Amino acid sequence: MRVLHIVGARPNFMKLAPVHRALQQRPNCEQLVVHTGQHYDFNMSDVFFQELGISAPDVNLGVGSASHAQQTAQIMASFEPVLLEHRPDIVLVYGDVNSTVATALVCAKLGIRVAHVEAGLRSFDRSMPEEINRLITDQLADLLFTPSEDGDANLAKEGVSPERVHLVGNVMIDTLVRMLPNSDKLRPKDLPKRYVLMTMHRPSNVDDPEWLKCLLKTLGEISSDIEVLFPVHPRTRERIQKLNLNGTGKIHWMDPASYLLFLSLQKNATVVVTDSGGIQEETTFLGVPCLTMRENTERPITVTMGTNRLVGRDFGKLRAELRYVLDGKAKKGQVPPLWDGNAATRIADVLCNLN
């Protein structure tokens, strides 16, 4: 069996690594990795291959940054000849980035089977580009690997045949479980005993100048009670510099962290404030309080079972929820079923039993 993996953005790499490793242990399984180049910054891409023990991609499309339409079109045009040359038995796409939907569409046009890892997630907010990518990819995919039961329910409502759907658990947690012991080696010596770990990158947040100004002001206020660590996403840094904004107080500005360093920062944080999807999952597994600055989430299980709370874009609510955490009243959560470090093995079992 020839399997072709598609990766393009930072979260994809953590999902690829355990699946690639699980398939390496199966006989007669040939694998190729195609990196679209959607994220091309070293700290957002190459370093992840190094830390996760993934060999260099077999193909790099080198697409780079562009508008959603341009990037999706460029990936499709660049990927088609690669697909025709290698003719895999199945293509694995991960998550909800433009690389995911672009390559799935090319496969569907050429009659090559597609498996979607992390299928069925829904925010029910079509203003999010990722939601459009998820909806289209799940309709095109021949196999849908879901991380939690809500994914199965969403797909059933959308008319996806249950024979195509496989509840396998969360492959990001596979990587977390494997790498967590190594993260302690990268714990900074001068790390504060208590701190807020901050990440923010979604266009709906950082592209709003007034909101971004309020965020930095609020962070300055928060840092009078507890220090704030802020690894700054390239997009966010660009917006801050363009607006000539500067935070005040004890805000520690950092470059984008490698996977292991960021894992160490999450594990030891008092609370994480984010608009990221994957971080909601990782903090739930780690038992670290998470405050998500979004009105909705495609990972509701992190709210219903985990440590996550949605605070929207409301800075008053953010301050109130932070106060609960600092007063020792943080939400207690549970690890969802099948988030046990073995999701990739279950995926490999399904793939290796295909006709």
Residues designated as active site = 201
194, 228 contact by CB (below 8 A): no
Order of strands, edge to edge, in the sheet holding 90-94?
A: 59-60, 30-35, 2-7, 90-94, 113-117, 143-146, 165-167
Is residue 301 classed as helix, strand or coil in its secondary structure?
helix
Q: 76-94 b/e with 16+ CB inside 10 Å = b?
A: bebbeebbeebebebbbbb
46, 107 contact by CB (below 8 A): no
Beta strands in the chain (DSSP E): 2-7, 30-35, 59-60, 90-94, 113-117, 143-146, 165-167, 195-198, 227-231, 251-254, 271-274, 290-292, 308-310
Residue 308 φ/ψ, nearest 5 degrees: -90, 140
- The burial of 178, by beta-carbon neighbours within 10 Å (0-12 exposed, 13-18 middle, 19 or more buried), is given as middle
